[in-house]
Structure 1
């Protein structure tokens, strides 16, 4: 039995190595040499129209990779598949930017039809969105294929929730081969973007919370303490520089001004405190770690070769 298990583990590891080895930064050099510049232009235009979109695109990539791997399954609409990830609790009425990826795909199809996957476009778009708001850049390995399926239940099981404890978050990331440092670095994406009242109401009205009193009072003005009243009202995750990718998110956590409980839990007298302190004091280290973590995240279970398709339209199976 032991020999069988060892053999199966050997096969699994080799399969993973083969899949990852098929991804390469130069994958489209011959088949679609202008793909990166085409995506970059499209994403820059989208972020120029709405700065918040940068956060939405990065989040979309994150939510894609944590479910079935980085396979563009989150982009499939309800009309395309009955089990769309878009309707999962963590995505419904909050995941956004689908039309931006669709638009980027249209532009890519003009220069090289049927060549570039939606999964690769989303991965590149996340990098370009980061750069557009002052965040880091990173080299993206390409060659992913698109999924033909989506899974609402898997999304609800795998995506983090704003009510998670630190250990639940650590375990969640560990299942994707992302370590504690990756968890803290990727959480730093919340230095841009906004959150709905329903996700932070419990924290700002919790009398037992260690939240900064002035910060809580400010946030309460736009988030009534009544379920259903103002649930979708938005507040910036970083009140100081909400549209710039910097390390203020971590400075906020140190000052007990984290908007969402699952953010503040990263600085609550536990093992992640030292990383938060490091990032709050050194933005260069944070940006470098964020870039490295995004590369690791982009390697989660990629579909390659015959294990996927190239969708001509990202939201449907075509």
Structure 2
């Protein structure tokens, strides 16, 4: 029943194909009306809730399927492949995307950890992975619906947006996704410092020693924790991020040579070889496939 109410709210507000911005910090809605074949995407640190339909992400040989009964939580930017198996104009995929790299998230995590630390003394979160599918419970669905209700009342939006967003974030942090969120985004979030550096320096040489230094770990510990979180070695991750970002640049209209230079490749032929090896198609072939999918491709980041 709560999923039906959530679907109705999203159907009213996610009217445009692809992503729709909202006045609530970090919150976007999306509508996808046609199937999207498996294509590269970069998932940001985010929470994705679907009210109708289904999406699927692939990372490290694993498939992550999320739908009206399961939300997806990504706590770090990850190069994935994603698809929308089924969608039609009359039964589109409807959902929302909440950015987890915002001031509100940091403040809620700090408050939670300060309040919960005495109660959790002697316990420790498991080493985090960066991606998980979590069942939607009634309290979580109700909090999402109450947040979306604010889009219909400008006065309530201005007064209550912060508190309702914090309520949803509390349920995320305190629920089954909690160890994942706290382990990656909470405390010193050492891995996030390294991941942010990768994201901001894709066009430059990146050394593993520099990433380990930024994370405050030895090279061996960094390698082990990084692979546990991302399902890839640091070098594999850097290459996948570069190629996925280049793929999205091509969708945005850049030429293959421009996209290659943007992510640090000095040789277009080397870029094309590695792109084909990674995605199973040349950059130009992939661009044609993405063009067929139309504006829905932007919602692959959700």
Q: Same fold (TM over 0.5)?
A: no
- TM-score, structure 1 as length reference: 0.26
Q: Which has the higher contact order (CA 8 A, sep 6+)?
A: 1
- TM-score, structure 2 as length reference: 0.27
Hey, which of these two has a bigger chunk of strand by percent?
A: 2
